[in-house]
Structures are given as structure tokens and as C-alpha cells.
Amino acid sequence: MRVELRVPASGESITEVQIADWLKRTGDRVRQDEPVVLLETDKAAMELPSPVSGVLSEIVKQKGEMAKVGDVLAYLEDTPLPEVPTAEPTTHPAAATPRVMPAARRLMAERGVAAGQVTPTGPGGRLLKEDVLRHLDEAREPQPTAAAAAPETTAPETVRPAPAVEPRAAVPREEEAVPMSLLRRRVAERLVEAQQTAALLTTFNEIDMSAVIALRRTHQETFQRRHSVKLGFMSFFVKTAIEALKQLPGLNAEIRGTDLIYRNYYDVGIAVGGGRALVVPVLRNAERLSFAEIETAIADFARRAQANRLTLEELQGGTFTISNGGVYGSLLSTPIVNPPQSGVLGLHVIQDRPVARDGQVVIRPMMYVALTYDHRIVDGREAVSFLKHVKDCMEDPARLLLEI
């Protein structure tokens, strides 16, 4: 029996998806609930499982195409799957075949070169025309022979004109058009929206991380043994940010029409690098979470973001955001607010720098921090006070316990 594989309804705001990748090919056998295709919305990616066990008989929507909720993506033949012998595992015959770009395919056809003879160097394992040209150049280079390598002992040395060098063919300059993913398009739209609708301003400070580093070093082993997760810096910043937000509620507010909406809860978004783009899953009611619960949740977000397994609900909402560019080596930056939020805290790399302490120059692990805020809601005094409170708590973590 022929079974349709359709785009499911994934939320009121989701009307279309993009085919990010097919995990199975036409003719492949699939089991019920086994992922068949990876779909991408403007918020996240999700795997669509097979509704039955059988064979993927026809793919209707190809990779990169758009589809609306309810559209047919593929057809499956609902047939029982035979038992697969465990002694002879099977592999897909095309699993190691690189993706050959059109220009490279034409050149290989003209010169009689097989894809397996060329080493691909393009992004994602793509085989480019430049790879084929390099392979042909290497094949034309003469190999030294034994006679040519032997030294001359009897014939007198004569001066011969240098052989003419045939110039190599110029490598053509090519471009490749790749459709922008829905997620990347949505990120771009929101960044432009933030710049156009909010009055954004950024203020900076720096933090001496010595106290937190010493605290982590002292308690890391016990913390990790008890909670099965490492004690990182992010939990400290989440805690300090919440304490600062309690004192300066404008940074946890938003503009809704002509009203200012203040909240007594703190849903903190944590920017993490995803498999396809930067995503911001949200720690709900972060003020109720312990250090261990925060670290566990962030580690789980990071793992599932890499596998594109975050849910839409986890990426929606948020009242304040923390972005850590320091993990990528960023020394200083101006983060952009995620509308309709009014603030984002940017963290940066920790570096040993000379600083003045009690009239002496000493070396301390320092971190620059940045707060971008919506000046329509937050005044400069409040923004500076927020960063100062974060700095004071991080340099004296005992303040977190005393809530001062």
C-alpha cells in the first residue's frame, strides 16, 4: 500500500519548511519512526520520521525546495521488512562518493577522469573544477627517470638553453549559488529588524576572573562527581545577570504597543552554535535553577543544537540573552538585541593582562563584557549599573549567596 509522507503542522507560526537533507534515498528500506528527511523551519531543524515500515519509493520534494504544511514530500510502500543478517552488515554503495559540482563533472567527462581519481577539497566534501585541474596538472608533470637522475662523469659540461616552460592554464573563477536556509533568512530578518526598530547602544566593562577561576578549581572535582557535569563560567553569569536584572528590571522588559511590560520571571536565552546557525534556546524560570541545573541544561542544549534536535518551544520567548563569543576567541564585540527583548550580555575571551592593584602592576585573567540595550526602555545609567553589578558579583562570588 502506498503511504504519503507529508509536512506536519509544527506550530501556529510555521506555514512552510525547507528540505534541508534527505536521510534516505529512493529504494532504501526504512523502519517505522526512523528519520527519513531533515526539515528546516525559520526557527529550527527537525527530523521527520517514517509513519510505516517499508520502502521509500518516490521523493517528491528535492533538497533545497520549499514545501507548505500538508504538502506531500515522498511516497513509501508499506511492506514488511525482511530480517537483515547480522553477520553481513550492509553499507550504502554511494556513501563515500563526493558531491561533484557541475563544472567539475563536465571537465571530467571531457578528459575521461573518474571521480575516484580526484581528491575533493571543497566545503562539505564537494569536488570542484579546481580539484580536477590540479589532478590533470599533476598527471602532466614528468617523473624523473633513473638515467636523468644519474650524475654525468665523462662528458664535458656544456651550457644548454633552458627549455621553454609551458604556462599552466589559468584556473577559472567560479561562483556557486546556494539557497539561504529558512533559519539563516529568519536570523537575518531579525537582526535587521533589531537595528531598524530599536535604539541600540552598547556599554562595556571588564572583569577580573581570578575569584571565579579559583572557586571552580577548588570545587570542580566534587561538583562534577556529584552532578555529572562540569562547573563552567556560564552558570555564574546567569546567576549574576538575574541578580542585576532584579535591581534593574528595564533590561528584563519589552515594549508592547504603547505599554512597557515588566516581568517578575527570568527566561534567559543562551546563544549556542548550532549545526546550521547560531540558535538561542531558553532557560525557563532561570531564577529557580541551581548552578548544576543551569550547567546541565546548557550542556544538553549544546549537544542537541549540534544535532539539530532542539524543539521550537525551546527556541521561543526569552526575556534576556547571554552570548559567549569568547568560546570562539572574540576579544570584544557589540552583540545585537533579540527583539522584543531590551538587553543582551556579551561575554568574551579570558586573557592574562597587566592591571593595577594596590599601586602595583600585576597579571590577572581579564574578560571584557558588553551590554547592548534598547535605549527606548533603558537609560545609560541603568545599563552601566547593570554591568557594574555583574562585575562586582563575578569578582566576589560570595555576593551571590548573600544576594547583595
What residues act catalytically? 375, 379
Angle at 98 between CA 26 and CA 129, to 5 degrees: 125
Instruction: Assess contact for 16 and 40: CB atoms under 8 A.
Output: no
Exposure string for 240-271, b = 16+ CB within 10 A, e = fewer: bbbbbbeebbbbbbbbeeeeeeeeeebbbbbb
The DSSP call for residue 316 is S
Question: Residue 160: exposed, middle, or buried by beta-carbon count in 10 A (0-12, 13-18, 19+)?
Answer: exposed
243 with 393: CB under 8 angstroms?
Answer: yes
Cβ contact 217:210 at 8 Å: no
Q: Are strands 282-283 and 268-273 parallel, antiparallel or unpaired?
A: antiparallel
Residue 11 half-sphere exposure toward CB, CA atoms < 13 A = 14
* C-beta atoms surrounding 82 within 10 Å: 7
Integer angstrom CA distances of residue 271 from 14, 117, 143, 337, 339: 22, 42, 54, 12, 14
Neighbouring residues of 207: CB distance < 8 A, sequence distance ≥ 6: 366, 367, 369, 390, 391, 394, 395
